Chains A and B, each alone.
Chain A
Amino acid sequence: MDLSVINPILLFAALMSAATPILFAATGELIVERAGVLNLGVEGMMIVGAICGFAIAVETGSPIVGFLAAAAGGALLSLLFAFLTQITLANQVASGLALTLFGLGLSALLGQGYVGIKPPRLPDVNFGFLADIPLIGPIVFSHDPILYVGLILVAAVWATLKFTRAGLILRAVGENHDAAHALGYKVVRIRTLAIMFGGACAGMGGAYISLIRVPQWTEGMTAGVGWIALALVVFASWKPWRVLLGAYLFGGITQLQLNLQGAGVAIPVEYLAMSPYLITIVVLVILSADKSAAPGSLGRTFHASS
């Protein structure tokens, strides 16, 4: 065992990148759940985003277009969920599970011709002299633009929910849809938009895996990240900054255990591999002691006449 092979700077830099897919998916789901909808299809929307982004990036040669396509793909798939749960009033849990299964199958079909191809690379952002700051430079200022988009997204979601009227209306719809309806807000429309935003974010998160993290296309490559994102939203008590904390914690421990495996620590690999899931959930459970934070109408079907 040789812990000196672990380079802390590389570890922290990799942590940010490992956390980004979860961060995107969880932030999107946070908006969906704050609007009162429980979409369990995050995993399916991520994998569809992953293949859409990958395919379009390969075809056009532009990773940025790929990411836009991933967002569109995720949003499009989420529209199916919106139709089922908001128009036909189907059960949200069942519809979400179906969406995940459908997404996994659809992505495998779409991705048949793309196995083993290398996608175009997205260059890192050039921060100039900032990147030369010791320690902070290589950790914070050495990444691709999408990672920073993720951070901006968290800040934007937080500010929108806290300071804007749109955010207030969104929270109101999630808190008590009957009261929101009585005040004349379009519950179904607002929820559909929230679901599409969640789908777009999940798609971006999926594409981050296939275009930047791995980068290649393999069937089922999201490997449960969507489920972790879902759990993260709950344990983060529906608060954006806690989602960021949880995502980084999860990303950090994932990287650390990979490094520990590489260093040959005398703990069975299986224990190391499960540690990110375990530790993230334990920490967030402790943080989420204030239980009343769940949106009041979460997961309940809204019907205007009742």
Chain B
Amino acid sequence: MTPLLSLKDLTKAYPGVVANDNVSLEIAPGEVHSLLGENGAGKSTLVKMIYGLVKPDHGEMRMHGADYAPSEPRAARAAGVGMVFQHFSLFDALTVAENIALGMENAPRLSALSDQIRKVSDTYGLPLAPDRIVGDLSAGERQRVEIIRCLLQEPKLLIMDEPTSVLTPQEVDILFETLHKLSTDGTAILYISHKLEEIRTLCDSATILRLGKVVGTCVPKETTAREMAEMMVGKVLGTPTRAGVTPGDTVLELNSLSLPSPSAFGMPLRDISVKLRAGEVLGIGGVAGNGQDELLAALSGEMLAPPGTLKMKNVDIGKLGPNARRAIGLLAAPEERLGHAAAPDMSLTENAMLTGAAREGLENRGFLNWPAARGFAEKIIETFDVRTPGPGNAARSLSGGNLQKFVIGREVLQRPEILVVNQPTWGVDASAAAAIRQALLDLAEAGAAVIVISQDLDELMEISDRFAALNEGRLSDPRSTDGLTVEQIGLMMGGAHGMEVAHV
């Protein structure tokens, strides 16, 4: 049988790096094929070539045996290739129907399109109101917009780039039902993810990429997650460990904290109460956009809290700004690396100075001690294995994972009493992620209290003592992670947000 799509010896080089090096793979109609690899392995470049966003340097693509060389996404869509992006390519200020119309070649009138949207969303169990403004939708709902946009074109191949990173476990189940139904109908799916258990449930076959090269293929249902992970990184992985520590006194106390969100499309914090003890790791899960950024801002001091709602060691710190909180040992590392955690165009030394000045004694009566700051930056680079030519390089020049190591390392090395991190291993490869988690655990073992906000449930289960979930700005009661099941976590995260299983 002719494969739907076959790639042969595709190569694409960027200045300084070969993103894809003689990559070949085949996808049959109706097959769910997984593309595995760490960040920077070349998965995104490969699918961008299939979708016509990037032109290969050489190599050939064939669709149904005929030459296939899309010069632009339009051509790819016409050939029956649809793509759901990792970072949603949606327009916040436009309605669902308008967003979908933009992704279609010959969009019908908006009223007719709205009817089609209702029909497709009904068929595949993806409820969606066509006239809602996308900026008001949850992450899961936004993804439905993207999926429906693709489905309306009746694609033969659907590319999905990290589709589940923003979904609750229940939403993931429903997405998989939809994908199963599509694949039974004959649509091939190219599925990119680094969540291995998902791939084992969903995919028929997998191609593994490392540093731009195909390093192997496997049948995920017959391979263990650990084997696949080791094929991805090319070495044996260690699991973070910690000695059991009895938590100490309460160091941080939130008492019915409610705060409005600073941004128009944000989520206000609602009545958050929690106590944090020295030496413990509190994991906070939840789907993105449920108040994570706001909670971090409230703890770091970017947003001030009303009197009595935020206490550190029984002292009210609600009115203290970020620098004052840093001085007394409450440190934070936000999610957005470029522009929030680090100033993109400043050097690593300058970035080390920015948060480390007070606690590391890098300034003296307003004068900056640059040699000490450089030493501090070098210490971070060495301790956390940040790959960069030196501390004089701009933060922007680092890859996402390396910058993440720097940003987390910078806070960890300041000996915090309380550390709050948001998405500490987002976009970081498996071995670096393990190192970051280990550093957080070591910190807790040394007696600091750590709050880890993350969307990676496996990560939270691995390192936290207690788990709580954010849902619509409310924090659930923390529960011990011992014996907590995925179903219970899903319910804590607010269930499936009105999703239903495909009913056709």
Contacts and interface: CB of A to CB of B under 8 A. Distances in A.
A169 interface: yes
Given A165-B101, A168-B98, A179 B72 contact: no
A191 to B, nearest CB: 16
Contact of A296 (B52, B93, B107): B93
B103 interface: yes
B479 interface: no
A204 interface: no
Interface in A85-110: none
Interface string A151-195: 000000000000001001101100110111011110000000000
Given A175-B92, A179-B90, A168 B101 contact: yes
B264 A172 contact: no
Contacts of B264: 291-292
A264 B103 CA distance: 62
Nearest to B72: A184
B89 A182 contact: yes
A37 B74 CA distance: 25
A66 B73 CA distance: 43
A180 B53 CA distance: 12
Contacts of B103: 183
A182 B98 contact: no
Interface residues of B, number: 21
A258 to B, nearest CB: 40
The residue among A182, A184, A185 with the most chain B CB atoms within 10 A of its own CB is A184
Contact of A176 (B73, B77, B90): B90
B370 interface: no
Given A172-B94, A175-B92, A182 B101 contact: no
Interface residues of A, number: 19
Contacts of B74: 184
B234 to A, nearest CB: 29
A169 B107 CA distance: 12
A296 B89 contact: no
A115 to B, nearest CB: 48
Interface in B51-98: 52-53, 72-74, 77, 85, 88-94, 98
Contacts of A168: 94, 98, 101-102
For the complex, would chain B's binding face be called helix, strand, loop or mixed by DSSP majority?
A: loop
Contacts of B88: 179
A292 B98 CA distance: 18
A291 to B, nearest CB: 8
Nearest to B98: A168
A66 B52 CA distance: 46
A184 B51 CA distance: 10
A182 B74 CA distance: 10
A168 B95 CA distance: 11
Contact of A182 (B73, B92, B93, B135): B73
Interface in A256-306: 291-293, 295-296
A176 B98 CA distance: 13
B38 to A, nearest CB: 22
A176 B92 contact: yes
B91 A172 contact: yes
A234 to B, nearest CB: 16
A159 B135 CA distance: 23
Given A184-B72, A184-B73, A179 B91 contact: yes
Given A165-B107, A292-B264, A183 B102 contact: yes
A172 B102 contact: yes
A171 B94 contact: yes
A179 B107 contact: no
A296 B263 CA distance: 13
A157 to B, nearest CB: 18
The residue among B73, B93, B94 with the most chain A CB atoms within 10 A of its own CB is B93
A131 to B, nearest CB: 40
A183 B53 CA distance: 9
A179 B89 contact: yes
Contacts of B92: 175-176, 296
B498 to A, nearest CB: 25
A175 B72 contact: no
Contact of B94 (A165, A175, A183, A293): A175
Contacts of A292: 93, 135, 264
Contacts of B93: 171, 175, 292-293, 295-296
Contact of A169 (B52, B53, B73, B102): B102
Interface string B122-158: 0000000000000100000000000000000000000
Nearest to A178: B89
A17 B72 CA distance: 48
Instruction: In the A-B complex, list the 9 residue pairs whose CB atoms are closest, starting with the nearest.
Output: A184-B73, A179-B89, A182-B89, A175-B91, A184-B74, A292-B264, A184-B72, A176-B91, A172-B102
10 contacts: A168-B94, A171-B91, A176-B89, A179-B89, A182-B89, A183-B102, A184-B74, A292-B93, A293-B93, A296-B93
Given A179-B91, A180-B91, 6 more contacts: A171-B91, A176-B89, A176-B90, A182-B85, A183-B102, A296-B92
